[in-house]
Amino acid sequence: VTSTLLSYHSWIFESHGKMSFSTKIWLSLVKLLSGRRPLLYSFQASLPRLPVPSIDDTIRRYLESVRPLLDDEQYKQMETVANDFKKDPAPKFQKHLKLKSWWATNYVSDWWEEYIYLRGRDPIMVNSNFYTMAARTGNVVHAMLQYRRKLERGELTPLRALGIVPMCSFQYERMFNTTRIPGIETDFVQHLKDRKHLVVYHRGRFFKVWLYYGGRHLWPSELELQFQRILDDKSEPQPGELKLPSLTAGNRVPWARARLKYFTEGINQASLEAIETAAFFLTLDDEAHGYDPENIRSLDLYAKSLLHGKCYDRWFDKSFTLIVYKNGKIGVNTEHSWADSPIIGHMWEYVLATDCFQLGYTAEGHCKGDINKSLLIIGYKPHIFTYNPSAIMCLYIDKGEFCLTYESSMTRMFREGRTETVRSCTCESTAFVRAMEDESTTNEQRLALFKKAADKHQNMYRLAMTGAGIDRHLFCLYIVSKVMGIDSPFLKQVLSEPWRLSTSQTPQQQLNLIDIQKFPKYVGAGGGFGPVADDGYGVSYIIVGENLITFHISSKFSSPETDSFRFGQNIRQAMLDIRALFNLKEKKM
């Protein structure tokens, strides 16, 4: 498959269920040239480079995106600033971006990782990291090792749109054996080859657990024995050991300085090296969490624990921390710089399916298999709810006003592509919301506005996925302006605008692993993240089959304007209102 062939994107703009003759020919060619059983990285060299949009298109789409948020005078002022930028210095910045796009694998991704993640000096605990949930435990570490082996051998099936069009697999490479290392001005991501141990944290003590014996992975039963020995260990933490992980939860500069001052020799250096070179970090939590139908806030507490715990019982710099609660529930907290949520979600789906349907348990509830007893151990206010809608989803702002809204889209049809922003608050969507609140508007008018808003949203998503988004282009133009030392009032204003509603979807990627209809209890609840703005919301959602959507909603205690539970109820009511709208249409038909 060639990059020229994979640069064809007309298929994504075609109406659902309708496929042009040229797209059918193109799909046949891609399928023919892809081979019968491609490996995870088979398509990497063939993926096209992310194109640089034109200045005219980006500014036109930007102005369109802010129109519903500004009054006439504010919009006119923004239009003037934008048009001045378009004349000069935009062409100079664009020229540099074009040059970079020719020699760099991806003109956005390296700057995005560096400036959005690694150069941020604020804590990564809530501001960057995100978490993932499931409802089973036991064989998880062994399943993760199986996944890592498949990953290293490239044996995982590559993700492909329509089952044919390949997505970039670059982000998978740093899932394991990876740590974010703090620095004074910027952090860096340390990725190592096959690591043979993990580090376990339990009641303030650190334990080094070997994952191999005689050249093979430990069996689930052998891992269970290791972890049980740790749980049975009654020793007290060493001085300074209990809250050591809190260094990774705070501001980056103090952590970087402490690392240079206290962790460059002796036992401190050796201990830190064991953590930072581990395959991943495991916390055996002394709390119990999970869904309790008798407690409406049980999922809120579960999410809060996964997002930050006690702030000193997760190693937030590791690529991910696996958390196992004392009642057997599990979850993952993920450092964000190395990858986006669908990547860790892919691994989590594999782990759940392997745990439940392949490894299994004995009648007594233990892991299956023999045990080699000679093995040694070296030693925000989130709100979550689930709801069963009619496959229609609506986000509703509970402040009585509209705001700049961020929705994440992927750009993985391009080499080393990560994400792009879809600006969900449009003239079309605001017109629909106003119509829903206006009692004089008929249901037929509301439905027409809903369809118009949905069509607009879909088109913006398609543009973002095919390299014609707004925000990554503006971000890179801003970086060029800083490098060139040329001040731009337009770019400065654009990048200072707060995202008071930040949303993201966790996709179900491996639908073949679990039959959702037969085994609904084995489906993960997705994951969540902290709000971007101090007075805003972070909303993550996962669509599970045709009958379930789970939302993860976060906001800050420090803001008197936000309330995650209230916002969740507003989303629920908005979805009920939309369902009622369609039910009325069906009755009339």
What is the per-residue pLDDT for 355? 86
List all residues 6 or more positions away from 429 whose beta carbon is below 8 Å from its beta carbon: 68, 453, 456, 457
Contacts 24+ apart (CB under 8 A), 569-577: 570/396, 570/397, 570/398, 571/394, 571/395, 571/396, 571/539, 572/385, 572/387, 573/396, 574/394, 574/395, 574/396, 575/387, 575/389, 575/392, 575/393, 575/394, 576/389, 577/394, 577/436
* pLDDT 10s digits, 501-544: 999 988 777 777 777 777 766 677 778 888 889 999 999 998 88
- When the pLDDT of each residue in the chain is averaged and rounded to a whole number, the result is 88
Question: Which of 524, 476, 533 has the alpha carbon at shortest distance from 503?
Answer: 533
> pTM here?
0.83
The answer to whether residues 390 and 582 touch, using CB atoms and an 8 Å cutoff, is: yes
What is the per-residue pLDDT for 397? 44
Q: How confident is the model at residue 382 (pLDDT cuts 50, 70, 90)?
A: very low
* pLDDT 10s digits, 77-129: 999 999 999 999 999 999 999 999 999 999 999 999 999 999 988 887 766 66
What is the per-residue pLDDT for 585? 65
The answer to whether residues 560 and 432 touch, using CB atoms and an 8 Å cutoff, is: no
Please list the active-site residues.
336
The answer on pLDDT for 368 being more than 50 is yes
If residue 422 lies in a helix (H) or strand (E), which one and from where to where? strand 419-423
Burial of 79 (0-12, 13-18, 19+ CB in 10 A): middle
What is the per-residue pLDDT for 586? 61
List all residues 6 or more positions away from 381 whose beta carbon is below 8 Å from its beta carbon: 300, 304, 554, 555, 556, 557, 563, 564
List all residues 6 or more positions away from 588 whose beta carbon is below 8 Å from its beta carbon: none
Q: Facing residues of 208 across strands? A: 199, 378
- Report the residue count for the chain: 589
Spatial separation of the C-alpha atoms in residues 315 and 309, rounded to whole Å: 11
Mean pLDDT, residues 404-424 taken together: 94
Q: Facing residues of 408 across strands? A: 421
What is the per-residue pLDDT for 374? 63
What is the per-residue pLDDT for 381? 41
Beta-carbon count within 10 A of 533 CB: 20
The answer to whether residues 50 and 417 touch, using CB atoms and an 8 Å cutoff, is: yes
What are the helix and strand counts (H, E) for the chain? 17, 20
The answer on pLDDT for 224 being more than 80 is yes
**Integer distance in angstroms from the first to the last C-alpha of the chain?**
48
**DSSP SS3 for 124:** coil
